[in-house]
Chains A and B, each alone.
Chain A
Amino acid sequence: MSLTAEEVKKIAHLARLGIDEQDVPHYAEDLSGMLELMAAMGAVDTGDVQPMAHPLDLQQRLRADAVTERNEREKFQAIAPQVEAGLYLVPKVIE
């Protein structure tokens, strides 16, 4: 299994991740190498095996639906790239 430059660009777009045109062949090669490594898994029969998402197979804990955190908007927005009137600013989405 190997990936083409076009596939790498498609994945990068899905991840909203800018990659330099000149690096695309390197990523294609690296990812293809990783997929080759993963091919070993295909040889194992895992038909009845339950997928394991978490090491301890824990139940998700529940808590009371009550406010537990303070509002620290100003503190959090102090480290934001651009804010105005308590809102995070991004380029205009709707004309």
Chain B
Amino acid sequence: MYNKTLAEQAEGLRNRQFSSRELTEAYLTRIKQHPELNAFITVTEDLALRQADAADARLAQGDAGVLTGIPIAHKDIFCTDGVKTSCGSKMLDNFIAPYNATVVANLQQAGSVMLGKLNMDEFAMGSSNETSYYGPVKNPWDLNAVPGGSSGGSAAAVAARLAAGVTGTDTGGSIRQPASFCGITGLKPTYGRVSRYGMIAYASSLDQGGPMTRTAEDAAILLQAMAGFDGRDSTSAERPVLDYRAALNQPLDGLKIGLPKEFFGEGLSSDVASVIEAAIDEYRKLGAEIVEVSMPNLKLAIPAYYVIAPAECSANLSRFDGVRFGYRCASPADLTDLYTRSRGEAFGREVKRRILMGTYALSAGYYDAYYIKAQKIRRLISEDFKKTLAGVDVLMGPVAPSVAFGIGEKLGNPIEMYLSDIYTIAVNLAGLPAMSIPAGLASGKPVGLQIIGDYFAEDRLLAVAHRYQQATNWHQLTPPGFQ
């Protein structure tokens, strides 16, 4: 059962091949069998079984939607009413969320079953899942390798068949890069498409939640339930949600694919480049026209991002002060000591580094030189994308310059870690939708193809990804030992 895609499971539930309780129990057993991955922070077994029974009752009445009875799991950044929501941090180790994130409520409303909460880099800051207070997640393809981050638990869970579909969030590549490293499908929607309400904020102008699944079809199903206008998110997009599943088979005649030459230059490992070139050849065979494009300001994306994201993080994380919720230090001498020690004792090194960077960039005398400058660069990058996307339907390239690296390999060198986000970060600055889909293996580890689309063209992106998955079987590969 757990080898089926989410769409196949929905079919199986409807045809009474198995019940939601059976499916949920199968996953709960499998989750217990694989503690070595460290993919889950919390498993909500009792809740899952209650929800499964309720789903079975609805299925019996014929009152079921496509997600009714489907077990899923959430990145531990989404608030879940009555369930610990840690955000991968000691700061929130004792935090039982008092309300549901809109994404959680929407998926619950659609009848899904929650298996638990997934491990992640602390406050979504990291590219390897090594900054989690709960320890690193292992990559199912190689237990000595990282799963990517920050949605590392999400990606590992889907790859290891611990859930058919999960949620993730992407601020600088945190859905796409782990999807690439673990050989699954991940979609970062257009900024504003999925509500940020109840999604613990890291960098509010960049954060966006999205689905992580094995196939584009499954991503379409999950996105359908996740997306939509939400008055509780002041930057939520007031536009109708398209029928993503129906759009999967939209004609792609005359599809024009742009390859940004900046994505194929120095720094891209040759084995990843070969896989990406083969994937693009496949699209050529399917009738797409391929053109080279150039976006000269892309090289500035990392510097701009590492000003803007830490600046927003330093403001957002000021709410963690030891007063209203979360960690409080023992016997504070005075109020300043309470703030300083609570934050100092409960935040990890990467989070502290970014708070310090952001505080510096926003401080008197440096604001214009760093923060305003970075926002101007952001405009230039965004305009590069707009100009380029006016001439092509989608852009394609690698997600990351290499396959999954070893646990501990880059932990001591934060700058090197930041540079590995080179192909994903610009998309967040522009606010565009983008996907990673499995495109092959290099040295036995998965490589993801990145597909970037125009604003709110998730339907197009999913159709382009679906077409590839109809013609190839890379998305069906299972990590050895997890069949």
Q: What band does the interface of chain B fall in when counting residues whose beta carbon is under 8 Å from A?
A: 35 or more
Contacts of B322 in A (CB 8 A): 81
Interface pair B343/A46, CB less than 8 Å apart: no
Interface pair B355/A76, CB less than 8 Å apart: no
The answer to the question of A14 belonging to the interface, with a C-beta cut-off of 8 Å to chain B, is yes
Tell whether A53 pairs with B373 under 8 Å between CB atoms, given A31-B356, A33-B414, A79-B96: no
Q: Which residue of A lies closest to B327 (CB)?
A: A81
The secondary structure that dominates the A interface is loop
Alpha-carbon separation in the docked complex, A31 to B358 (Å): 10
Q: Which residue of B lies closest to A36 (CB)?
A: B415
The answer to the question of B376 belonging to the interface, with a C-beta cut-off of 8 Å to chain A, is yes
Interface pair A52/B303, CB less than 8 Å apart: no
Contact of B343 among A18, A30, A31, A50 (CB under 8 A): A18
Interface pair A18/B373, CB less than 8 Å apart: no
Nearest Cβ in chain A — how far from B167, in angstroms?
A: 21
The answer to the question of B374 belonging to the interface, with a C-beta cut-off of 8 Å to chain A, is yes
The answer to the question of B144 belonging to the interface, with a C-beta cut-off of 8 Å to chain A, is no
Nearest Cβ in chain B — how far from A1, in angstroms?
A: 10
The answer to the question of B472 belonging to the interface, with a C-beta cut-off of 8 Å to chain A, is no
Interface pair B363/A88, CB less than 8 Å apart: no
Contact of A16 among B343, B372, B374, B455 (CB under 8 A): B343
Interface pair A16/B377, CB less than 8 Å apart: no
The answer to the question of B341 belonging to the interface, with a C-beta cut-off of 8 Å to chain A, is yes
Nearest Cβ in chain A — how far from B198, in angstroms?
A: 13
Contacts of B363 in A (CB 8 A): 11, 14
Alpha-carbon separation in the docked complex, A18 to B376 (Å): 32
Tell whether A55 pairs with B234 under 8 Å between CB atoms, given A18-B345, A81-B322: no
Alpha-carbon separation in the docked complex, A78 to B418 (Å): 39
Q: Which residue of A lies closest to B431 (CB)?
A: A55
0/1 per residue, B228-248, Cβ < 8 Å to A?
000100110110000000000
Closest CB pairs A-B (n = 6): A18-B344, A55-B431, A51-B375, A81-B328, A46-B376, A52-B379
B residues at A contact (CB < 8 Å): 94-96, 98, 191-192, 205-206, 231, 234-235, 237-238, 297, 299-300, 302-304, 306-307, 314, 318, 321-326, 328, 332-341, 343-345, 347, 349, 352-353, 355-357, 359-360, 363, 370, 372-380, 382, 414-415, 418, 429-432, 455
User: Please, could you name 16 A-B residue pairs with CB atoms under 8 Å apart, sorted by A?
Assistant: A12-B356, A15-B318, A16-B321, A16-B336, A17-B359, A19-B356, A31-B353, A34-B418, A38-B374, A55-B429, A56-B192, A80-B324, A88-B323, A90-B335, A91-B334, A93-B335
